[in-house]
Structure 1
């Protein structure tokens, strides 16, 4: 698993704006992500372009073990038929799935008040100082908007037909989807290592 995420760690060396909010793993840890050989990657995003980019990126981290859902499920396949999906992925030899889903986008508007900096001016005579008194400069107040994206990442065992690991992450003001998914994968991998889900 370390080999799978090595390119990710090298790519994301700047300070991350993503943090783990919560995580859970199957208590007995009978199945770890290292044991999965063929993994379906699914990004449940509204925008098709965003979905493709996220799935492509996640597949890249799986080092040949992953396949994008947008390539796997052809346009004529009924993705609303749960039983058909279950039968198809088992028949085609998938033993795992990784999903990424955007749960919430929280926008917070923050006002930074104006700032006045007063300072005395030096004058050679008293009258100049008295009439000019204090000089000052000001910075106008302004608004900024902070966006926080909450994303759920799940790992499933297809053979056992159950979830084996999940995490919620929060990313603040990401610099695009690619950066956000990179940061998520990095902190998720660190959490998996911490919990012994990968080794």
Structure 2
């Protein structure tokens, strides 16, 4: 139990603050969970076209735990086109029993209207009554009003799918889809996805709750 928690929850730090990423949907194989699988060696696969970004993302995820290994260290341009059977043979020979994949499945743009604001500060009440007569009415009870015009704001949402496969049982055992808005820092967004995925795994019962201190 403790080993699995360290593997799939302890390493996925849950932030107290909010992120720009939310869970859209998730699914868990009803007959399994992380504790039953007892993973010993997991390959991390970032299904991205850009090789540099692929390596960066895989390294970032793999750095969370020594049981995680980036796929580019095993699958290069020379064997990426191998058949599924050939790839599975390589994975089995290297002692892998699990795979985590992350892939961008869609981008969506959304335009929202941000209404303007109308603010003014009120100087009435006690001070207005005390000083209004003394200053002969030159001091107005209301400060100038300020208006910020509304505007349209376009947001881009990146839909990412994270999957966990069991090589021992040769099947998908957990999948989750996240939506991340206005991505500026890819590294931070990957961390946010990991945070939200970890929360959802606990919610789904795929990973046991953190032990009480």
> Alpha-carbon deviation of 1:38?
0.9
Matched, 1:145 2:148: no
The counterpart of 1:163, out of the listed 155, 172, 188, is 172
CA distance in 2: counterparts of 1:118 and 1:31, whole angstroms: 57
Per-residue deviation, 1:26: 1.2
Corresponding residue for residue 19 of structure 1: 22
- Judge conservation of contact 1:149–1:171 (CA < 8 Å) in 2: yes
Q: CA–CA distance in 2 between the matches of 1:33 and 1:180?
A: 30
User: Which ranges of 4 or more aligned residues in structure 1 deviate by more than 4 Å?
Assistant: 30-34, 113-126
2:48 to 45, 49, 61: 45
Report if aligned partners of 1:33, 1:197 keep a CA contact under 8 Å in 2: no
- Alignment correspondent of 1:98: 100
Task: Please tell me whether the aligned partners of residues 150 and 169 of structure 1 are also in contact (alpha carbons under 8 angstroms).
Answer: yes
Map 1:13-162 → 2, pairs under 5 A: 13-29=16-32, 32=35, 35-61=38-64, 63-115=65-117, 136-162=145-171
Provide the aligned length of Structure 1 versus Structure 2: 193
CA distance in 2, matches of 1:66, 1:79: 23
- Give the whole-Å Cα distance in 2 for the aligned partners of 1:78 and 1:173: 31
Q: Which structure 1 segments of 5+ residues have no match?
A: 129-134
Q: Deviations over 1:118-169 (max 9, x none)?
A: 799999889x9xxxxxx65432333322121111111001121111111111
Q: Report the TM-score when normalising by structure 1.
A: 0.80
Q: Partner of 2:189 in structure 1?
A: 180
Q: CA deviation at 1:99?
A: 0.3
Higher strand fraction (1 or 2): 1
Distance 1:110 1:30, change over 3 A: closer
